[in-house]
Amino acid sequence: MQKLRVSREIPRYPIDAVDNALKLIELLRDHGSVRLKDAAVELGVAPSTVHRLLAMLIYRGFAERARGRGYVPGPALGAGPAGHGRISELRALAQPLLEDLAATVRETVNLMVRVGGEVRFLSTVEGSRPVRVGDRQGTVLPAHRASAGKAMLARLDPHELEQLYRGETATARKLNEADYAALVRELGFVRDRGFAANFEGTEEGVSALGMAITNAEGEVVCGISVAIPQSRFREVFDAGLLGETARTAKLLEERLSEVSGGSGLDRGQPPSPR
């Protein structure tokens, strides 16, 4: 199976203005709407700077003004929003738990949501080891390749899964019969174990363990993963990775259940591609 290259190394000569504009595009894509002051906090720049960047994104069709006080994706932004109405709240609930898990296992921890056949990385907390997996925030990967993506796919009923990868209106890249059968078998193991693994399936030298996170009604809201250099995955796993990740998943599910409304954050429906 061909591996995907998702390495994100900082360029030797970064251009801050370009980087901030691209971060804004990622925020619009993943959140569905962005307020100016929230974007300024996210980017760590003045609201006036964000206003100028958004003006250029509007000019190029990547953003539009919402009826309220925010901004939404424009027609030039091909990937639709994640379909969760409360992404910012989800990140706020999860962030302290992600930080605690990263500090405990000293490896990189990610929060992601599934949109059709893809996973969107909403947040990353890097590990503290000198050699570690880097920031994945904003990255989009095939769900069936990523560990937390597999964990979320394993919660679909067989008909939904088949429609996603084999149906006439499939929103994911269609899998051939053999690859789809292999995926079904693997997802069966994931359901039995309660977690999924990715051994260099998305990037050479990187492996991960992932779990799906549900709200009080049992609906999948998001997924978390711990990404580890392949050379020490077994060492970290044997040192208690599974238990620590499961503890974090349980705490996040409890926090989701406490959100007003009783059912946690809205799962939402993945949008059709633009």
**54-109: per-residue pLDDT in tens?**
999 998 878 888 877 788 888 777 544 444 457 778 988 999 999 999 999 999 99
| pLDDT score, position 270 | 39
pLDDT top residue among 139 and 264? 139
Q: What is the mean pLDDT of residues 172-178?
A: 86
Residue 32 main-chain phi, psi, to 5 deg: 85, -30
Confidence of residue 178 (pLDDT cuts 50, 70, 90): very high
Could you report the per-residue pLDDT of 8-51, keeping only the tens digit for each?
667 888 899 999 999 898 888 877 788 899 899 989 999 999 99
C-alpha distance from residue 102 to each of 29, 111, 165, 206 (Å): 26, 12, 33, 16
Q: Is 44 left (phi over 0), alpha (psi -120 to 50) or beta?
A: left
Q: Torsions phi, psi of 206, nearest 5?
A: -125, 130
| Six-digit token string for 53 | 């960047």
More confident residue, 134 or 259: 134
Q: What integer pLDDT is reported at residue 272 of this predicted model?
A: 35
pLDDT at 5 over 70: no
In a 3-state reduction of DSSP, which class is residue 73?
strand
| C-alpha span between 254 and 46 (Å, rounded) | 35
The residue type found at 247 is R
Q: What is the Cα–Cα distance from 272 to 267, expressed in whole angstroms?
A: 15
Its pTM stands at 0.73
Q: Given this model, what pLDDT does residue 268 score?
A: 43
Question: In the predicted model, what is the mean pLDDT of residues 210-215?
Answer: 96
pLDDT digits (tens, 9 = 90+) for 220-257: 999 999 999 999 999 999 999 999 999 999 999 999 98
Q: Which pLDDT score is estimated for 169?
A: 67
